[in-house]
Structure 1
Amino acid sequence: MTVPLSEPIRLAVDCMGGDHGPSVTLPACRAFLEKHPGAELLLVGQPEALTAAAGWSRCRVVPASEVVTMDDPIDVALRRKRDSSMRVAIQQLKAGRDGEPVQAHACVSAGNTGALMAVAKVLLKTLEGIDRPAIAAVVPNATGRFTTVLDLGANVDSSAQNLLQFAVMGSALVAAVEGIEEPSVGLLNIGEEAIKGSEVIKQAGELLRAAGSAGHLNFFGNVEGNDIYKGTTDLVVCDGFVGNVMLKTSEGLATMMGNFIKEEFGRNLLTKLLAVLALPVLKAFKHRVDHRRFNGAALLGLRGLVFKSHGAADAVAFENALARAYDAARNRLLDRVHDRIVATLQAQASDAGDNATPAVAQAA
């Protein structure tokens, strides 16, 4: 799907998903529309819950009678709740059976992550050459910019070929959303040396180095966990198990540090007075580490753009997820992923010749 730059970017929003539903998603949508005059929204959900949006310009309500809760099993979302706001929102990314165009260019939901990935994969399928979708998100780094990390939990076990695909998809994401045409790629490992890591990581390193030598990736090499926050590379690739543990550990550490600072400044009258003096510095620090600024994880590898907001997101965080989806659609992320993965895997198959793996040969 190619989105002409002159065409309004239309987002399908699962207004019922997440911990808070319309009480958060609707204010976020209103704020987003005010800042993005070139955007249109499809507000998906139970009509009676979306009455506050009646009369909004550049909006249309798409009814859905059911809601996927945060603790619904995946099979419930897939097979029982066929008219859920999540499923109906994703369906807006599909072309009609009689050749009708897609209704939306991207979808945003704060709903159950497992259910969202499963429903999106079933409805949209994966791009040719992609074995598994991956979840990609950004974290702040010491350079004042962001580091994009994937996979963050979609795949517990990943092959070397999967990690190569993640690198290609992630590179397209960074190029589209951050404007870095040749982002540097690091492979997360327990050391910088090529001989370190599991057999899968070593094999992935070989594939990534070959792709880098061929000019299809800007591969930096192995990186360690602290490099994510140093900003050593624009993109860090890992399997979903490691990525999810890294993300949750980081969130826990940030929360703990914030609580420590509050406790120390609240110990007595003197420290409270010092807190008042330090208020501008504390506000600046809070802004730099505010997780709401980085909300909106991309589900890469699908035949449609799906973005996942944190389930507990407030209106500011959800608005940022909408903005990331908008930027991805406006900058043709799907086309970029497709072009990069095809070029990389075809080159890999050509280099391998008759010895190419079945996955590579099929993708080519």
Structure 2
Amino acid sequence: MSLPRIAVDAMGGDEGVRVMIEGAALARRRHDRFKFLLVGDEPRIKAALENHPNLRASSEILHTEGVISGEEKPSQALRRAKGTSMGRAIEAVKAGDAGAAVSAGNTGALMAISKLALRTMPGIDRPALAALLPTLEDHDLVMLDLGANAECDARNLVQFAIMGAAYARVATGREQPRVRLLNIGTEETKGTEDLRDAAAMLKASAADLSISFDGFTEADKLGSGDMDVVVTDGFSGNVALKAVEGTARFVADLLRRGFTSSLRSKIGFLISKPATELLKHHLDPNNHNGAVFLGLNGIVVKSHGGANAAGVANAVAVTARLLEENVTERISADLARLGGASLRKPRVQEESA
């Protein structure tokens, strides 16, 4: 079976070409049916490929000298996108030369370029940034939006739920994902009017969408494992994600200090090493790397800028799985089945109390 190739922005990320190529090579071993379009400075890419003959044999290089820096504003990046590795990787998806693109570059620029080039899917007003978060159970949690849209109305939140559920079916294998809205409490009267309206729409449409919707959840339950999708606006989602990441680093640092504070604690570390290694693996962001811009006419995956080769490999693997499982087509099918009727609830937007 021939699968669409994956365009890799080889110049993005803190470490640049070496880590992006090494990560793509690691992912190629797990998804050996895919071919790659490596976009960036050709001499540097060729040099990096010398250590990865398997990837070299399944890749084509698209040379471009321009690179979008991490400090560039999205508006600046848009103006010169065509001459950059990020812009040309996205353009390859638009032209059909690749089925998806992966970049570890500037998130705002990637969002702006992707949205302008690929446009949003019919029935979707705004794309959303979705990522997988670890939980106490044996599955990850799909959370969106994580920063693409600071303000969202009820219609946006319902669309995010549809997209998140489609992604969760791929990520968890659960045909009827458990969807919740992030709120400041679980009572039906809590939260903004948009949140309450979105909850009412999802409750009325749950059967049509093949989801299990049970209202609201709070941020302290994100890792519980009793839900598959959490939906929120980009402002709240980004704050919650950074809090989770910061807490993980805090716990890891506390353990490191505690286990090195005395000889007795070092002995304790050796005894508990299997448990601490499991904790380290679970909290390592590289093992959950790869955020997806859902709702576009094409798949775009954002790798963390500081990801190592294993993290980049995970982002590429996420991309490959989304292509294999036709997640874009699944979202379209869900929207068509719903018909959009329950999403049309026009009302005058009011300032929440």
TM band (smaller chain):
over 0.9
The answer to whether the Cα contact below 8 Å between 2:209 and 2:334 also exists between their aligned partners in 1 is: no
Where do 1:63-78 residues align within 5 Å? 63-78=63-78
Say whether residues 1:23 and 2:23 are aligned partners.
no
Shifted more, 323-332 versus 194-203: the winner is 194-203
In structure 2, what is the Cα distance between the partners aligned to 1:217 and 1:178? 13
Residue of structure 1 in register with 2:38 after alignment: 43
| Structure 2 Cα separation of the partners of residues 176 and 270 of structure 1 | 46
In structure 2, give the amino acid aligned to 1:74: P
Candidates 44, 49, 53, aligned match of 1:53: 49
Contact 1:191 1:223 in 2 (8 A): yes
- 1:343, CA displacement in angstroms? 2.2
Query: CA contact under 8 A between 2:162 and 2:209: conserved in structure 1?
Result: no
Mapped contact 1:151–1:239 kept (Cα < 8 A):
yes
Instruction: Spell out, residue by residue over 1:51-71, the C-alpha distance to the aligned partner (whole angstroms, 9 max, x if none).
Output: 222661111111112001111
Pick aligned residue for 1:202 from 196, 199, 207: 196
**Equivalence map 1:1-364=2 (5 Å):** 6-51=1-46, 52-53=48-49, 56-95=56-95, 102-348=96-342, 357=346
Q: State the distance in 2 between where 1:76 and 1:225 align.
A: 35
Q: Give 1:28's aligned amino acid.
A: G
Percent identity over the alignment is 37
Q: Secondary structure at the match of 1:92?
A: helix
- Shift of residue 46 of structure 1? 0.9
What letter matches 1:71 in structure 2? E
> What is the alpha-carbon distance in structure 2 between the residues aligned to residue 179 and residue 187 of structure 1?
21
Structure 1 residue 82, shift from structure 2 partner: 2.3
Distance 1:111 1:83 in 2: 15
Instruction: Provide the residue aligned with 1:98 in structure 2.
Output: none
1:216-273 residue CA offsets vs partner (Å, 9 max, x unmatched): 5321211111221112210000000000000001111100110000101111122112
SS in structure 2 opposite 1:219?
A: strand
Residues in 1 aligned to 2:209 and 2:149: alpha-carbon distance in whole angstroms: 27
SS in 2 for 1:108: strand
- Unaligned regions of 5+ residues in structure 1, if any? 1-5, 96-101, 359-364
Deviation at 1:214, TM superposition (A): 4.1
Amino acid at match of 1:265: F
* Structure 1 residue 111, shift from structure 2 partner: 0.6
Instruction: Render the CA deviation track for 1:94-127: whole Å, top value 9, x for unaligned.
Output: 23xxxxxx11111110010000000000000000
Task: Give the aligned CA root-mean-square deviation in angstroms.
Answer: 1.6
Indicate conservation of the 8 Å contact 1:169/1:341, yes or no.
Answer: no
CA distance in 2 between counterparts of 1:140 and 1:30 reads 25
- The secondary structure found in structure 1 opposite 2:70 is coil
Residues 180 and 229 in structure 2, CA contact (< 8 A), matched pair in contact too? yes
Unmatched 5+ stretches in structure 2: 348-353
**Matched residue SS, 1:93:** helix
Amino acid at match of 1:311: G
> 2:340 is paired with a residue of what secondary structure?
helix
Query: Partner of 1:17: helix, strand, or coil?
Result: coil
Deviates more, 1:302-311 or 1:214-223: 214-223
C-alpha change, 1:248 and 1:198, in structure 2 (3 Å) is same
CA distance in 1, matches of 2:81, 2:311: 27
